[in-house]
Amino acid sequence: GLLDAWRRFEADADAGVGMLTGAGGCFCAGVDLLALDLVEQPEGWLGLTRQTVSKPTIAAVAGYAVAGGLELALWCDLRVAGADAVFGCYERRFGVPLADGGTQRLPRVVGLGRALDMILTGRPVRAEEARRIGLADRLVPTGEELAEALRLAEAIAGFPQATLRSDRRCVYEGLGRPLAEGLAIEAAAGRELFDEVAAGAARFAVGEGR
């Protein structure tokens, strides 16, 4: 279901920003270890974690975002957390590996040392600490995370989308590459969008945004 939803989002020209959230005061606590009915797919155990989309994505996190739930939150570009949010690699205690991108995305978000601390100890990381280490990009009172994520999504969707998506793509494609390669990716993308730049400059010239 998640995979189908994100494919529809990617194909929908009118959808600018995707949002992922939970229900009942919990973002996602990961795999149901009682059922353990997962089947590995090329797209990832949880349906979409080996997939990419070309548009910005936001996770609105209330309560627990642990184990596979943490990995789903990390799949998103940004995370808005309520004050009751708890992140963690809780699968550590049951001998379950991080198999939906956690070993790769967590270090990219919080840095190697903090990622290893979370992965090796499986300890809970509560909202304030998550904000401090960059795991949560926004921290709001409990119950306000979805509304804040919607405000953020609307703000992002209000920008010219071609250059926004191109800049986002350049960030991801440049990760792990030498600086010179990353700069070349950025330069090529800029050349492809020169018409967009010219149109934006023309709007500025007549006073828009001043």
Active-site residue list: 71, 91
What radius of gyration do the chain's Cα atoms show?
18
The Cα 5–Cα 65 span in angstroms is 20
Nearest CA among 66, 29, 68 for reference residue 46: 68
CB 105 within 8 A of CB 49: no
Which amino acid is it at 127? Answer: A
Work out the angle between the directed axes of helices 102-110 and 112-121 (0-180°, nearest 10).
130
Q: What are phi and psi of 108, to 5 degrees?
A: -70, -30
Residues in contact with 191: Cβ distance below 8 Å, sequence separation at least 6, in sequence order: none
Q: Which helix (H) or strand (E) holds 86?
A: strand 86-88
Beta carbons of 30 and 67 less than 8 angstroms apart = yes
CA distances from 60 to 23, 167, 183, 208 (A): 10, 23, 32, 32
